[in-house]
Amino acid sequence: MTKLLILLVLVLAILAVAQLARVYELTSKLRGKREEDISPADNRMNATLWWVFMVVYYAFFIWLIWAYADEMLPVAASAHGEEIDTLMNFNWAIILLVFFVTSTLLFWFAGKYAYRADRKAYYYAHNNKLELVWTVVPASFLAVIIIYGLRTWQDITGPAAPDALQVELYAKQFDWTARYPGDDGMLGATDFRLIDGENPLGIVTKERIAIRLAALAAEKAGLDSLLQHAILPDSRAEEIRDRIAGIERQAGRIVNLRTLMEQDIAEKGEASAYMHGADDVVTKEFHLPLRKEVLLLIRSRDVIHSAYIPHLRAQMNAVPGMTTTFKMVPTITTDSMRQVTGNEAFEYILLCNKICGASHYNMQMPLVVEDQGTYDAWYAQARTKPFQAPPMAVAPTPAPPAPTDSTAAPADSTDATAALKP
């Protein structure tokens, strides 16, 4: 209510200003002044305002820097992040210099050269030398920025060390899952058609293929019998037939996948990616060892997400249909960072930074960076825990429509069709 009142007052204030201007207009009309004639007083007033604005603008800027310096991201917690910070500071130095010089010239001229009837503007149409100077000078600044920037970029995006720890970050609406390799040190192959409640990442193994095919067969059998025995409206029957056709397509493709897998295994033996899925560790916790290069393999199940870890200056999109990568070396443990920031509750956060749906704003997973020993202990116990599908992501108030847990549906239908089996 008070807000409405404030709004009302403001609107009235504006109307008052408008009326004042109108009165002014009428009086100047009486004095024979035309609207397009800008009076010397108006020119002087605006000239002064340009200077006043400049001072306030800079003061506001400097105040923001001063007051919010501590709220910016703390020191980078990764090796490449330190490079990014140095590059960032270098760029800021150039940018702020240019900003203050050009803005000051602009506001200075705007205030200084306000119209005076006793003066004529300087007829100055061009000067090729001058123009050459301000083409070449920015060009050389930019050359430095480009070269320095690209060197950093190449370091960051170059190939990862062969012994880097591979960790998969798997995104779906609206949570993250991590996958660590087992003893073989390699992550197994995946296929989205094998996703179900127990296999949320679609890891390919012979068993998972068999289970998925059985589930599809059971679902199909259930639908077949429904079609035969129940009396259904045409539209519903049509739907069921479509669904059956869909299941058959799926099953056909899974059979193809099985053939591919068998060929690959026959060819490569133990080196085949299909041989490494069984011991992978799938977990809702995200831990990384200190000072060890890690190659993040980033995937998505449904829409584009983005794996963003601000404190480690790491970001890469998760794109359905492809695996993206980001390599990094964490350099500060969570505990040390708690001391650096003076915040006992500090956590590194992996958050989603590509619009992905209603609960996009709460798709996060804490990251723990710890020394190798602690990490090893965590890994050992993570292996022993079977993966638990988490409860549905509960959105904070005000509740958006609850995101459907996409793993629930197939599991349910399996149960339902299992009951229909003869």
Partner 1 sequence: MGSVATAPHAHAGHAQHHHEESFVSKYIFSQDHKMISKQFLITAIIMAVIGFMMSLLFRLQLAWPGESFALSEFLLGSKWAPKGVLDPNMYMGLVTIHGTIMVFFVLTAGLSGTFSNLLIPLQVGARDMASGFLNMLSYWLFFLSSVLMLASLFVEGGPASSGWTVYPPLSALPQAMPGSGAGMTIWLVSMAIFIASSLLGSLNYVVTVLNLRTKGMKMTRMPLTVWAFFATAVVGLLSFPVLLSAALLLLMDRSLGTSFYLSDIHVAGEALDHVGGSPLLFQHLFWFLGHPEVYIVLLPALGITSEVIATNARKPIFGYRAMIGSILTIGFLSFLVWAHHMFISGMNPFLGSVFVFTTLLIAIPSAVKVFNYLTTLWRGNLVMTPAMLFSIGLVASFIAGGLTGIILADSALDIQVHDTYFVVAHFHVVMGVSAIFGMFAGVYHWFPKMYGRMMNTKLGYVHFWLTFVAAFGVFLPMHFVGLAGAPRRYYSYSEFPMFEGVMDLNVLITLFAILGGLAQLLFLYNFFYSVFRGPKAVQNPWRSNTLEWTTPVEHIHGNWPGAIPTVHRWPYDYSKPGKAEDFVPQTVPLEHGEAEEHG
Q: Show contacts with partner 1 in window 82-141 (CB under 8 A).
A: 83-84, 87-88, 91-92, 94-95, 98-99, 102-103, 105-107, 109-110, 113-116, 119-127, 130-131, 134-135, 138-139
Please give the residues from 37 up to 66 whose contact with partner 1 meets the rule CB under 8 A. Answer: 38, 42-43, 45-47, 49-50, 53, 56-57, 60-61, 64
Distance CA 306, CA 320 (A): 11
Token readout for 54 is: 């400049």
Burial of 168 (0-12, 13-18, 19+ CB in 10 A): buried
CA distance 298 to 316: 8
Residue 371: both structure tokens together:
């020394």
Using rule CB under 8 A, residue 372 touches partner 1: no
Taking CB under 8 A as the criterion, the residue among 30, 31, 66, 154 binding partner 1 is 154
| Interaction of residue 18 with partner 1, rule CB under 8 A | yes
User: Measured from the CB atom, is 95 or 416 closer to partner 1?
Assistant: 95
Task: Measure the CA–CA gap between 241 and 355, rounded to whole angstroms.
Answer: 35
As measured in angstroms, the least distance from the Cβ of 422 to partner 1 is 26
Closer by beta carbon to partner 1, 128 or else 228: 128
Virtual torsion, Cα 286, 290, 292, 297, nearest 10 deg: 20
CB closer to partner 1, 227 vs 349 = 349
User: Taking CB under 8 A as the rule, which mask of x and - marks residues 275-314 in contact with partner 1?
Assistant: --------------------------xxxx-x-x-xx-xx
126-130-135 Cα angle (round to 5): 110
Query: What distance in Å separates the CA atoms of residue 316 and residue 16, rounded to the nearest whole number?
Result: 53
394 binds partner 1 (CB under 8 A): no
Can you tell me which of 381, 398, 419, 422 binds partner 1, judged by CB under 8 A? 398
237 binds partner 1 (CB under 8 A): no
Parallel/antiparallel/unpaired status of strands 294-300 and 324-328? antiparallel
Sole binder of partner 1 in the list 182, 264, 284, 315 (CB under 8 A): 315
Measured CA angle at 56 (ends 53, 58), to 5 deg:
105
Instruction: List the beta bridge partners of residue 179.
Output: 168, 282
Q: Which stretch binds partner 1 (CB under 8 A): 175-183, 231-239, 246-254, 385-393?
A: 246-254
